[in-house]
């Protein structure tokens, strides 16, 4: 893994010297032509393939509006290897993949070497793209820009995604369960979406405790804990951010003293505590394990991506209710606050496309954001992000998770990881440290945070991003 990361960083530098210049000004006339487009997407991730599944409708749109024929091929790789697969191709200036489904955090990694098209001119020169109103600023920040907060656009949102809370509705509304809960804790469990919107973590934890019944092989919660990809960081950040913490200063690159605070150590403690209400083996839970435990009827609740709602609607012997995840308390005792990790993926366009494939890619994006296409995407289970669709009176009724997804799709309720070329290195160190703590390899959460903060800050400093180095004494910290 370390060799792969170093190799890719070298490729960033080398490829950055070969940034192609693409013509944006005039339209390429493709009338009468037949074009084959290739999309590289995420294996096993339903929204990634939806664009290809819907491509026959684009073929009709292209024929009617521009007079050319188009067909699509689709290659894929898992989340864990897709960036490497794309990078290996793009570093050779290949146009094997005309359009790529990127994870949101990869925008810096793809854009810095000049591998993908900067979209500002594409948007400016297409009235239909320019007229798009995104539902919230978080859509732009998460799926389009690098650096964060800039006006440099590199991605077009494909799939919006937020965290949602999946609840066993049958258990929640069972009169006997509700009576027993009130007798034990002196309060009523929430019933409605509005009730859950106000639910705080201390009261939610009472529900997790109440429904954890190992003798019945039934447990309170399934959520992300795995060391694979970004799972443990995804869930840990929910606790850190919602309790008022931060993971870095994006403007200065400072990590030490921001990530490794006492408050964040307490947040990690709270996160680890949730394992006592999780099924056995919960420390290895990623997306597939959460879905399996939910559908197998083993858990009362799951904090999971809204994007997989289609696959969590029929738990064994039960019913599903989807609501916002609970608020935490600032500092553990303060005001309620809810900031959860953002998911979702943008489309990015290969810089090394010839002018014909580039034109088709731009036409495809124009079609993708028509209200008709976005509504069809929603009906098939995708999460659209344009305001004209999300603000429709009937939107929240199209799919059971849409109300929670829309509720969480706000910059006051969601936050993304680093959009940085060094993302993979930064993530690897945090994953290593956080997982070492929740598995008991490291007993002290402060040590895990110090280890992560030192190595992430050192990486950023060594590459000229952070202005100050981490303390030398922290180099001795080991995860044991």
Residue-by-residue DSSP string for 281-326: TGGG--HHHHHHHHHTT-EEEEEEEGGGGGGSS--TT--EEEEPPP
Torsion angle, alpha carbons of 280, 342, 156, 379, to 10: 70
Within the chain, how many helices (H) and strands (E) appear?
A: 22, 11
Whole-angstrom distance, CA of residue 290 vs CA of residue 279 = 10
Q: What's the pLDDT at 25?
A: 58
Q: Are 255 and 468 in contact (CB under 8 A)?
A: no
What gap in Å lies between CA 69 and CA 62, rounded to an integer?
7
pLDDT above 90 covers what percent of the chain? 93
- C-beta neighbour count of 245 within 10 angstroms: 23
344-364 burial, b if ≥16 CB within 10 A, otherwise e? bbbbbbbbbbeeebbbbbbbb
DSSP 378-424: HHTT----BHHHHTSTTHHHHSTTHHHHHHH-STTTEE----STTHH
Peptide bond into 4 cis (omega under 30): no
pLDDT at 51 (0 to 100): 83
Domain locations in the chain as residue ranges: 2-161+344-415, 162-341
Task: Specify whether the CB–CB gap between 340 and 165 falls below 8 A.
Answer: no
* The CATH number of domain 2-161+344-415, selected from 3.40.190.10, 3.40.50.300, 3.40.640.10, 3.30.230.10: 3.40.190.10
pLDDT tens-digit map of 189-246: 999 999 999 999 999 999 999 999 999 999 999 999 999 999 999 999 999 999 999 9
CA distance 50 to 194: 32
Helix (H/G/I), strand (E/B), else coil: 228: coil
Any bridge partners for residue 35, and if so which? 70
pLDDT tens digits along 2-49: 333 444 444 444 444 444 444 345 899 999 999 999 999 999 999 998
Strands 156-168 and 340-349: antiparallel
CA 194, distance to chain mean position in Å, is: 25
Tokens at 214, concatenated: 């190992």
Name, in order, each residue with C-beta under 8 angstroms of 9's C-beta and a sequence gap of 6 or more: 421, 422
State how far the Cα of 150 lies from the Cα of 98, in Å rounded to an integer.
25
Cα 103 from Cα 82, distance rounded (Å)? 9
CB 459 within 8 A of CB 433: no
- Same topology for domains 2-161+344-415 and 162-341, yes or no? yes
List the chain pLDDT tens, one digit each, 480 residues: 333 344 444 444 444 444 444 434 589 999 999 999 999 999 999 999 898 899 999 999 999 999 999 999 999 999 999 999 999 999 999 999 999 999 999 999 999 999 999 999 999 999 999 999 999 999 999 999 999 889 999 999 999 999 999 999 999 999 999 999 999 999 999 999 999 999 999 999 999 999 999 999 999 999 999 999 999 999 999 999 999 999 999 999 999 999 999 999 999 999 999 999 999 999 999 999 999 999 999 999 999 999 999 999 999 999 999 999 999 999 999 999 999 999 999 999 999 999 999 999 999 999 999 999 999 999 999 999 999 999 999 999 999 999 999 999 999 999 999 999 999 999 999 999 999 999 999 999 999 999 999 999 999 999 999 999 999 999 999 999
**CB distance 244 to 324 below 8 Å:** no
Q: Which two tokens stand for residue 156?
A: 């077009």
Q: What is the model's pLDDT at position 52?
A: 84
Residue 462, pLDDT score? 98
Burial (CB count <10 Å: 0-12, 13-18, 19+), residue 112: buried
Residue 6 has what pLDDT? 42
The DSSP code sequence of 320-353 is EEEEPPPBEEGGGTSSEE--EEEEEEEEEEBTT-
User: What pLDDT shows up at residue 372?
Assistant: 97
Residue entry with tokens 């709270």? 270
Q: Are strands 99-101 and 340-349 parallel, antiparallel or unpaired?
A: antiparallel
In terms of Cβ atoms closer than 10 Å to its own Cβ (0-12, 13-18, 19+), residue 417 is: buried
The two tokens of residue 236 are 């840990």
Q: What CATH class is the domain 162-341?
A: alpha beta
Nearest to 57 by CA among 380, 355, 402, 398: 380
Query: Which residue from 70, 68, 75, 114 is spatially nearest to 91, judged by alpha carbons?
Result: 114
Contact between 426 and 439 (Cβ < 8 Å): no
Query: Rounded to whole angstroms, what are the CA distances from 378 to 46, 74, 234, 394, 405?
Result: 13, 21, 25, 11, 12
Chain centroid, CA 244 distance in Å: 20
């Amino acid at each position: 893994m370390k060799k792969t990361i170093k190799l890719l960083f070298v490729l960033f530098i080398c490829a950055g010297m070969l940034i192609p210049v693409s013509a944006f000004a005039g339209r390429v006339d493709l009338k009468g032509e037949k074009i084959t487009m290739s999309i590289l997407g995420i294996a096993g991730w339903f929204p990634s393939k939806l664009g290809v599944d819907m491509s026959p409708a684009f073929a009709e749109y292209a024929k009617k509006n521009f007079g050319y024929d188009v067909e699509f091929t689709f290659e894929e790789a898992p989340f864990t290897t897709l960036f490497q697969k794309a990078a290996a191709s793009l570093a050779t200036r290949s146009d094997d993949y005309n359009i790529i489904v990127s994870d949101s955090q990869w925008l810096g990694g793809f854009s810095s070497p000049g591998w993908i098209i900067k979209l500002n001119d594409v948007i400016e020169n297409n009235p239909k793209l320019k007229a798009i109103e995104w539902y919230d600023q978080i859509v732009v920040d998460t799926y389009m820009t690098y650096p964060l907060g800039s006006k440099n656009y590199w991605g077009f949102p494909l799939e919006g995604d937020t965290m949602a809370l999946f609840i066993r509705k049958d258990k929640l509304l069972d009169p006997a369960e509700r009576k027993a809960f009130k007798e034990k804790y002196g309060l009523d469990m929430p019933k409605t979406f509005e009730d859950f919107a106000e639910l705080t973590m201390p009261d939610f934890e009472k529900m997790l405790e109440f429904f954890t019944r190992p003798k019945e092989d039934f447990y309170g919660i399934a959520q992300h804990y795995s060391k694979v990809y970004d799972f443990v960081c995804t869930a840990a950040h929910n606790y850190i951010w919602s309790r008022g913490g931060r993971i870095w200063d994006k403007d200065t690159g400072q990590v030490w003293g921001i990530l490794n605070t006492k408050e964040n150590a307490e947040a990690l403690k709270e996160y680890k505590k949730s394992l006592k209400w999780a099924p056995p083996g919960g420390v290895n839970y990623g997306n597939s394990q959460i879905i399996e435990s939910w559908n197998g009827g083993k858990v009362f609740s799951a904090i999971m991506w809204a994007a997989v709602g289609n696959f969590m609607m029929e738990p064994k012997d039960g019913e599903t209710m989807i609501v916002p995840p609970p608020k935490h308390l600032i500092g553990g005792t303060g005001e309620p606050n809810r900031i959860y990790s953002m998911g979702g993926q943008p489309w990015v366009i290969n810089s090394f496309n010839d002018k014909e494939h580039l034109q088709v890619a731009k036409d495809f994006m124009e079609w993708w954001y028509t209200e008709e296409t976005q509504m069809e995407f929603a009906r098939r289970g995708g999460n659209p992000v344009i305001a004209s669709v999300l603000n429709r009176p009937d939107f929240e009724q199209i799919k059971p998770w849409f109300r929670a997804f829309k509720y969480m799709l706000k910059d006051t309720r969601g936050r993304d990881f680093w959009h940085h070329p060094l993302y993979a290195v930064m993530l690897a160190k945090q994953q290593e440290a956080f997982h070492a703590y929740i598995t008991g390899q490291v007993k002290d959460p402060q040590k895990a945070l110090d280890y992560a903060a030192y190595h992430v800050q050192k990486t950023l400093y060594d590459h000229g991003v952070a202005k100050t180095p981490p303390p030398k004494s922290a180099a001795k910290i080991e995860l044991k």
